[in-house]
Amino acid sequence: MEKRIGLILTGGGARAAYQVGVLKAIAEFLPRRAHNPFPVICGSSAGALNAATLAVNAQSFRKGVRYLDNIWKNFRAEQVYRTDVVGVFNNAVIWLAGLLLSALGINRLKQISLLDNSPMIDLLDEIMPCEMIQQSIDAGFLYALSINASGYGSGHSVAFYQGVEEIVPWRRARRVGVPTRIENRHLLASAALPFFFPAIRINREYFGDGSIRQVAPISSALHLGATRILLIGVNAEAKADQPRQGAGARAAYQQHGGRDDRGAARTGQTAACRYFVHPAQPAHRKNCRTIHR
């Protein structure tokens, strides 16, 4: 079995910026001109933006990380949603009208939201050339990219993926894998927080935040062929007073992305490590275990 390292970038809103710190540590460990070390990349919610950026820049991992670093350092609220008085007022009127129509039996809430994310649409059109994802795949720098979104109609967690032809679509209880060409609308759908941002229609269904129904976050990476997994989470489980384990992200990559997989590759299993990022400390290893697909 060919060894492939899968990278999973979870949601967490603006806290997804902490993931860039872990990626920067890994980039410093790798040679300057190294290609993307993660053949399988999966992103959900705000992590979908980070995942897509790495996939677009798979030929040069450092370039992709620098690009991400620049994006997050310069992010402003007005680049995500309209903050001007006119924009906020207009959107509030539309939202209240939607509530009234819904009370009358005309359901239009799926098409409106508290905030107008048109600036985010313009930003993605400017900074995210999704057509380069296929170029990364064709050049062999990327095996697959997956963007997770929650279907409001079906209630399924849907992994929209773009990868090599050998990958077989999957269907499990409440989660499916759908082959497609990743576009900015998939990133918008994955980051569409319910009520705050509008749902995005893809094919025949409206989709929202990819973390809502994601009960098996590493499932997509396994189905896409990953044999070892690095998951970077940004929730509050990492305590500020937690003792350090290893040397942060660099040790993480060395032990579970580079060398020591605890025999998982020999047995056809997957060694998975989960790392949590805390703003006051480097990344810490939380759980490492062998997972049977």
Query: Do residues 227 and 3 make contact, with C-beta atoms less than 8 angstroms apart?
Result: yes
What pLDDT sits at residue 84? 77
Radius of gyration of the chain (CA): 19
Return the number of other C-beta atoms located less than 10 Å from residue 97's C-beta. Answer: 12
Q: C-alpha 291: how far from its chain's center?
A: 21
What pLDDT sits at residue 12? 81
What pLDDT sits at residue 77? 83
Residue that the structure tokens 């003792």 belong to: 243
Q: What is the DSSP letter of 226?
A: -
Label residue 243 left, alpha or beta by phi (over 0 means left) and psi (-120 to 50 means alpha): beta
Give the integer Cα–Cα distance in Å for 216 and 11.
14
Q: Reduced to 3 DSSP states, what percent helix, strand and coil does the chain have, rounded to the nearest 5?
A: 40, 20, 40
Give the integer Cα–Cα distance in Å for 66 and 70.
6
Give the integer Cα–Cα distance in Å for 65 and 27.
7
What pLDDT sits at residue 103? 66
Q: Which of 128, 132, 127 is nearest to 142 (CA)?
A: 132
Give the integer Cα–Cα distance in Å for 61 and 56.
10
- Burial tier of 174 (Cβ tally within 10 Å: 0-12, 13-18, 19+): middle
Return the number of other C-beta atoms located less than 10 Å from residue 126's C-beta. Answer: 9
Print the SS3 string covering 8-37.
Answer: EECCCHHHHHHHHHHHHHHHHHCCCCCCCC
Q: Which residues in the chain come in under a pLDDT of 70?
A: 1, 91, 95, 98-99, 101-112, 235-293
What pLDDT sits at residue 61? 96
Q: What is the DSSP letter of 255?
A: I
Give the integer Cα–Cα distance in Å for 88 and 213.
29
What pLDDT sits at residue 81? 81
Amino acid at 62: R
CB-based contacts of 33, cutoff 8 Å, min separation 6 = 60, 62
Q: What is the DSSP letter of 198?
A: -
Query: Do residues 232 and 277 make contact, with C-beta atoms less than 8 angstroms apart?
Result: yes
Tokens coding 213 = 């129904």
Strand partners, 271: 228, 290
